[in-house]
Amino acid sequence: MDKRKRFWMRLSILAVISVALGYTFYSNFFADRSLARAGEQAVNFVLEDLEGESIELRELEGKGVFLNFWGTYCPPCEREMPHMEKLYGEYKEQGVEIIAVNANEPELTVQRFVDRYGLSFPIVIDKGLNVIDAYGIRPLPTTILINEHGEIVKVHTGGMTEQMVEEFMQLIKPEA
């Protein structure tokens, strides 16, 4: 009888450990931890651009907002920036604004990147990663498309081709 009790006790402990490991594995690798979801209102924020001007998301209502989270150390981010710049002028005239939110890098590093690529759209630095945390951004790059009513239309994780950037801008272009 003693052997049988030990067997069931060990089996029970093993089952509990297995369930705990399974849950931990699932929550760390498969669960969607993004807070930003299509159909929800975008979280408002205020950040300074590289010229020291405040940009508040709420003030862009009436425009489509292409909210791109990026870092200079991120190869896909580096590849998509020229596509964003190429289409910015055309779509800005049609009511689409790009806000590129850098992930807490030194201003000099970001400014050198901007100068190297000749970027003209607003670049802000999320010092302290408060906006990135509010939106649940993991990994970089992530782009959130917001319509003219401040509603999230799409969340895209990963790099973008020029065709994707154009499709996304078309998606959030305000109705004429």
pTM, to two decimals? 0.80
pLDDT per residue as tens digits for the range 103-158 = 999 999 999 999 999 999 999 999 999 999 999 998 999 999 999 999 999 999 99
Pairing of strands 54-56, 46-48: antiparallel
Contacts of 80 (CB under 8 A, 6+ apart): 68, 70, 141, 159, 160, 161, 165
Pair 64, 147: CB distance under 8 Å:
yes
Pair 142, 56: CB distance under 8 Å:
no
